[in-house]
Chains A and B, each alone.
Chain A
């Protein structure tokens, strides 16, 4: 070994010693798609439903962040959401998302004015309480997480006119997620206690109905490759305002380009929104993690 090689190998071993000291924090240690994608409410899950996964690609030995942008084009409205989340040690997830619900030309027909846009800020927190959706393939016990979403909508006056009792509120949910690897399936069931009208964009509670109701969310997907999950979701919603608020469903494809970028495309059916029926359209969401 000549002097140059010796110097190089010494430098390398010093470098290794340096990284060894920091090896407890491990970047991007999870398997593809096992952080889920980002929902319209900012939590990790599918597109419409929050799952028990903790967002991002960090294991219990790491902390990671995600940003997302989501767009949903409906016949009479346009929905946008963008936000960020942090996953801590595959145990805790905190998130913030801002939703825009743009009434476009429909705003004039509703007497709100063209382009009238409802906004909502959603602050989410989720705690994984037991199980592991991936590793425990020898058991039926799912991964279970509990979460809360504090939502605050900005159009209090209009919400009041529609009969909404509050312009802010908190949703509480329990989510159970299981990956059945032997069947290449991903399953989720979520129970949500909520007062929210159209997830909170139209406020919370309604005339004569200002109390929590229990709503259910179900998702099922099949892994076609380690990068691609396709499936569907169904989410029940309360009808506090008496405006025939519909359940939501979608058919989605979530594709992990790599651990830094995922794309979700879906056909989403949001039913009737503020008396306008047949709100179905293309849902697109981009998620970047680091």
Chain B
């Protein structure tokens, strides 16, 4: 026990450049600075009822849509740079949580709020719209109806004000 305390003390005085040690709670993710977790960080309120969750084919469908939009955006020369040096494991997880929370799929959102999550990315409207286009393609791929896609996009659209910085 004493040994552990000494070790902890030694670690706490260690230089601050060891920021990339892995997250204790989410293996495979990098540690992030502490922030207050709340569902409100998702940036919008969830849909009522289960129609939208059904339209997205449940949590499994949401997971496929998230993976598809992330994969497409990484491969898209318009958007690939946005994700440079981002923790993609964490991004996929928090995006899944956010979509699942909004679609009332029984998830809590544990990520940061939209402003904090996009701080210093320097996003422009063209970036936001390119990501929307990739999301539309991902939802097409999951065979989600166009009107349901638009209902979901209507929830995300106002996030332009928090995420686009210039």
- A-side residues, CB < 8 A to B, are 24, 26, 28-31, 59-62, 90, 132, 134-139, 180-184, 223-226
Q: Are B158 and A59 in contact (CB under 8 A)?
A: no
A62 B126 Cβ-Cβ under 8 A = yes
A59–B160 CB distance below 8 A:
no
B83 to chain A, nearest CB (A): 15
B38 within 8 A of A: no
- Do B126 and A181 touch across chains, with their CB atoms under 8 A apart? no
- Expressed in whole angstroms, the minimum distance between the Cβ of B126 and any Cβ of chain A is 3
Asked if A59 contacts B146 (CB within 8 A), the reply is no
Measured CA separation A30–B98 after assembly (Å): 25
Check B132 against A31 for contact (C-beta < 8 Å): yes
Distance (whole angstroms) from the CB of A28 to the closest CB of chain B: 8
Taking the closest CB of chain B, its distance from the CB of A224, in whole angstroms, is 7
In the bound complex, do residue B158 and residue A136 qualify as a contact, i.e. CB atoms below 8 Å apart? yes
Contact of A135 (CB < 8 Å), options: B124, B147, B158: B158
- A26 to B77: give the CA distance in the assembly, Å: 13
How many residue pairs link A and B with beta carbons under 8 A? The number is 61
Whether A60 touches B150, Cβ cut-off 8 Å, given contacts A135-B160, A136-B157, is no
Q: Which residues of A contact B153 (CB under 8 A)?
A: 137, 181
- Cα distance A138–B44 in the bound complex, in angstroms: 9
Q: How far is the CA of A217 from the CA of B129 in the complex (A)?
A: 29
Is B90 in contact with chain A by the CB < 8 A criterion? no
Nearest A-chain residue to B122, judged by Cβ = A23
Would you give the shortest CB distance from A265 to chain B, in whole angstroms? 21
Top 6 nearest A-B pairs (CB, nearest first) are A29-B126, A26-B126, A181-B154, A59-B125, A182-B154, A135-B160
Q: Report B's interface with A, CB cutoff 8 A.
A: 44, 124-126, 129-130, 132-133, 136, 146-147, 150-151, 153-155, 157-158, 160-161
Contact assessment for A137 and B157 in the assembled complex, using a CB-CB cutoff below 8 Å: yes
Chain B, Cβ-Cβ closest to A61 = B124
Given that A31-B132, A135-B158 are contacting pairs, would A182 and B151 also be in contact in the complex, using a CB cutoff of 8 Å?
Answer: yes
- Chain A, residue nearest B132 (CB): A31
CB-based contact B126/A61 at 8 Å = yes
CA distance A59 to B166 in the complex (A): 11
Chain B residues positioned under 8 Å from A137 (CB to CB): 153-155, 157-158
Q: Give CA–CA (A139, B147) in the complex, Å.
A: 19
Residues of A within 8 A of B150 (CB): 181-184, 223
Tell me which residues across on chain A come within 8 A of B146, comparing CB atoms: 184, 223-226
Partner of A59, one of B126, B133, B151: B126
- The 16 listed contacts between A and B (C-beta, < 8 Å) are A24-B124, A26-B126, A30-B129, A61-B124, A61-B125, A90-B125, A134-B157, A135-B158, A135-B160, A136-B157, A136-B161, A137-B153, A137-B155, A138-B158, A181-B150, A225-B146
Q: What's the nearest-Cβ distance from chain A to residue B10, in Å?
A: 39
CA distance A181 to B135 in the complex (A): 15
Residues of A within 8 A of B154 (CB): 137, 180-182
A182 to B149, CA, bound (A): 9
Tell whether, in the assembled complex, residue B136 and residue A226 are in contact, meaning their CB atoms are under 8 Å apart: yes
A181 in contact with B125 (CB, 8 Å): no
Given the complex of chains A and B, what is the CA–CA distance between A139 and B136 in angstroms? Answer: 22
A29 to B123, CA, bound (A): 12
Determine the chain A residues whose CB is within 8 A of the CB of B130 once the complex forms: 29
B143 → A minimal CB distance (Å): 14
Q: A134-B157, A182-B154 are in contact. Are A31 and B126 (CB under 8 A)?
A: no
In contact, A184 and B147 (Cβ under 8 angstroms): yes
Residues of B within 8 A of A59 (CB): 124-126, 129
A226 and B149 alpha carbons, distance in the complex (Å): 10
* A residues in contact with B126, CB < 8 Å: 26, 28-29, 59, 61-62
Q: Report the Cα distance A29→B124, complex, angstroms.
A: 9
The distance in angstroms between the C-alpha atoms of A30 and B130, with both chains bound, is 8
Q: In the assembly, what is the distance between CA of A225 and CA of B140, in Å? A: 11
- Complex Cα distance, B136 from A223, in Å, reads 14
How many angstroms between the C-alpha atoms of A132 and B130 in the bound complex?
17
Is A26 touching B157 in the complex (CB atoms < 8 A)?
Answer: no
Given A59-B125, A59-B126, A182-B154, output 9 extra A-B contacts at Cβ < 8 Å. Answer: A29-B129, A59-B124, A135-B160, A137-B153, A139-B158, A181-B150, A182-B151, A184-B146, A225-B146
CA distance A37 to B162 in the complex (A): 29
